[in-house]
Structure formats: C-alpha cells, structure tokens
Structure 1
Amino acid sequence: MSFENVIEVAQNDQSLKFNHTCLRIKDPKVSVPFYEEKFGMKLLSRKDFPEMNFSLYFLTFADNKTIPDDSNGKPNPFAIQGTLELTHNWGSEIDATFEINNGNVEPHRGYGHVGFATNDIVAECNKLESLGVEFKKKLSDGRQKDIAFVLDPDGYWIELVEYKKETKLTGYQFNHTMIRIKDPEKSVKFYENVLGMHTILKSEHANAKFTNYFMGYYKQVEDRLAIEGVLELTHNWGTENDPEFHYHNGNDKPQGYGHICVSLKDPSTLCQAIEETYGDAIPWAPKWNQGKIKSLAFLKDPDGYSIEVVPDNLTL
C-alpha cells in the first residue's frame, strides 16, 4: 500500500492535533517529580486502572497555553498539543530486574527522543547540570553546538533546543518527538495522507547519511522550534533497500516507548474513513470503540509504531 489516497476528513479537519507521546516508566515517584522539578512540567491528570494494574500520568508545559477543563472540571490533557503521558505498570518499581528500553540501543533501536525547546539553552543546561541531571551530550560535545541531550530516570533521551529569543514565549515548549523510519516514501505519505499532517521541513545531513522530516498540523511555521506537536521522522539512508531491516516499535519486548496520539472532535469519522480507504493495509489494535477502554482506537504506521486516536473531550 502506497498511501497515495488522501482522506479528506483528515486533510480538512481543523480540530486534529498531535496530542501526546506515551512513555512507559519504572517508578512514577521518581519520573513524575523529575519532569516537574527539573523542567517545570505541570501534572494535569492521573488516572488509575486497578482492573488492569496500571496508571497514567499526563504532564505538559502550561506557561504558553490555555488548557480547557474536561466534563469533570479538571484540566483536559487531550484538548491540547504538547502532552507527555507516562505509563506505569504496577509492580515495576519493586522489580529489580525491570528495565526500560529507551529505543537507542541496538538491537532495539526505533524510538529516539522527545525534544524540549527553551529560550535560553545555555542557562537551562547550566541549571540542569547543577541539579544533577545526567547529560548524554553537552553543548560543547560533538559537531552540533546548539543542541544537548539529557537522560531521564529511565534512560530516555531528551533533546534540548533553543527557539528564537524574539519569540514571545516563556519557559519550555514540548517541541517534538522523534522516531526512526525505514522507508520515508511510505512513512511520510502515511502521516500526510492517512493522518492529515503536513511536512514542515525536510532536512538532509549528507555527511552523516540521514534525513529528518518534521511533520505536524501546521501549514506555515515561522520558527519550527517555537511550536509544539511536531513529529520528527529520522531516515538513515539505505534502510529502505534492506528487506530484512526493521525498527523496534517499543511495544514488543523489551518495552519502552508506547505511542503517539492524535486527538480531534470526531475520531469515529476519521477511523471509519481510514478503514474504508485502506482496508486491511493498516492494522488496528483495537479498532474504534472496541477495546477495554472505550472511545479510542489504535492503528499502526508502516514501521509498526502505534498511533492512538481519541476525542479531544475524552474523560477517562
């Protein structure tokens, strides 16, 4: 399937947004305070599922956005872009053998990182270093002197970048989520034609033999680093020609990365249009409203990464 057919409901729906990225964590008593205290994220919601032995924690940077309330009068994490969902499977925190797959170590590479943008990367790196945060790459390391990478408590990579200082923003933006892809022709068309995203920027790096495709629900962008809800697809040249090559999707063992999520006003119509257009070429697990938790669906992209689809007024 080439994903050539454009689904008009996705292309034309102004309510579509790249809502959240889900990461599994070992211990919420460590990970949630890390994102709150080191980066200033706000915990919008916690939802426990005792019957399935897991909890969800939804965080975001609240400085530059208005967060609507849900039907219970609580902040609605599904109505915005730039939400981080941390998933805790009960008992992992007391299991000495439990480890998270961060997606960057062979043979389980796939998911790469989340990217946080700030208006003063030097000051933020100095602050994080003073707080004891572990760096994977400092500003002074390597060729690129304008980015840094730090590690969260589970070893996930967080890229730090800087948006333009003249931008009227404060603090951090949850700028992007990066996943590696095998075949850009298939993946880019999937996110454009199936989910209605736009390619914001294509950036080639000939010396290192890779290309980045930055995608999102924006038609025009003045500063790519000053926005939220960007999906970065990274293609290492040549993988598309190897029939045996595949990336780890984060949900096969060893687990780590879970999914990205798009939210919109009427997800049932979008899901129906995708099924009618592409049939069995796009796997679902589960289809719309057919899982244990209702009012959502999960589909898979060409590399097997999961994408959740939910209403933007969802109340769990």
Structure 2
Amino acid sequence: MKFAHTCYRVLDLDRSLDFYTNKIGLEYTRKAPIGNDATNAFLSVPGDDEPRLELTLNHDRDEPYPLGEGYSHIALLVEDLDATAQRLQEAGGVDFESEPHAMGNSSTRIFFVRDPDGYRIEFIERG
C-alpha cells in the first residue's frame, strides 16, 4: 500500500493555488475537469513525482465547507522551522494558528497555519 493524496474542497481555486504554491512552496502539477461540475488541481512536494494534495472546486458552491470539530490537517516536514515561519510571515496573507514551539520534552518542534478555506497545515522540524 502507498499513500496517494489528501483532498481539500475549496471555494476559490486560484486563491488556494496561490497560497499553496507561492506561500507554502508546493508545486502545481496539473488541473483536471470533472465533467462540468468540478475541477481538481493537484500539487506535489518539490522533488516528489506524485501529487500529494488535491484541491477540488465544485463549480456550483458559494458557501464555505464546514470543517467539523476534529483536528484534521496535513503535515509537512521541514529542515528549519524558524526559517519556514519567517518565510511565511514575509509572504503575508498567512494565518498563523501557533508560533514555532517544542512538543513537550521532545526535540521535535511544530507550528500550524490555516489556508484560505480554514484548513490546518502543520510544519514539523524533527530534532
């Protein structure tokens, strides 16, 4: 078994693509229409041949999707957590949910941001 991808449903595909490519640093792979009802856009982590994030725009949707009460998110490993946070702050338009911090007594450090639709993204630096 191999993990394929995660799908998020978005309201503004161009805004989400800008966020994930120009701020987060993922690479745009391709778009694929789903009939006349929806469009999928696929993004990959630099250096990975497989798209790992699918953004789906349902053409008839104009209300935000309920995100639920769970703590669902995607997580990205980074080598330098502070540099990543600084780059995102300098990019502007990134909603920080938390600042870089250690996980208890561990050498692992994390922080969270939210995308334009409110989905959480965790950045992890392992010590």
Please, what TM-score do these two structures have when normalized by structure 1? 0.36
Matched residue type, 1:261: A
CA positional deviation for 1:302: 0.2
1:112-127 to 2 correspondence within 5 Å? none
Match 1:260 to one of 58, 68, 74: 74
Deviation digits for residues 37-62 of structure 1 (CA, Å, limit 9, x no counterpart): xxxxxxxxxxxxxxxxxxxxxxxxxx
- Bigger strand share: 2
1:123-142 to 2 correspondence within 5 Å? none
CA positional deviation for 1:201: 1.8
Deviation digits for residues 255-300 of structure 1 (CA, Å, limit 9, x no counterpart): 235100111111210111111230xx32212112288787210000
1:183-198 to 2 correspondence within 5 Å? 183-198=12-27
Asked if the contact 2:78–2:84 (Cα under 8 Å) also holds between the matched residues in 1, the reply is no
CA positional deviation for 1:199: 1.3
Matched residue type, 1:199: Y
Asked if the contact 1:200–1:219 (Cα under 8 Å) also holds between the matched residues in 2, the reply is no
Asked if the contact 1:198–1:219 (Cα under 8 Å) also holds between the matched residues in 2, the reply is no
- Structure 2 residue 44 is matched with structure 1 residue 216: yes
Mind listing any 5+ residue stretches in structure 1 that lack a counterpart? 1-171, 222-226
Bigger radius of gyration = 1
1:1-316 to 2 correspondence within 5 Å? 172-207=1-36, 209-218=37-46, 221=49, 227=50, 230-239=52-61, 242=62, 245-250=63-68, 255-256=69-70, 258-278=72-92, 281-289=93-101, 295-311=109-125, 313-314=126-127
Q: 2:9 and 2:102 mapped to 1: Cα distance? A: 29
Q: CA RMSD in A?
A: 2.4
Identity %: 30
Please, what TM-score do these two structures have when normalized by structure 2? 0.85
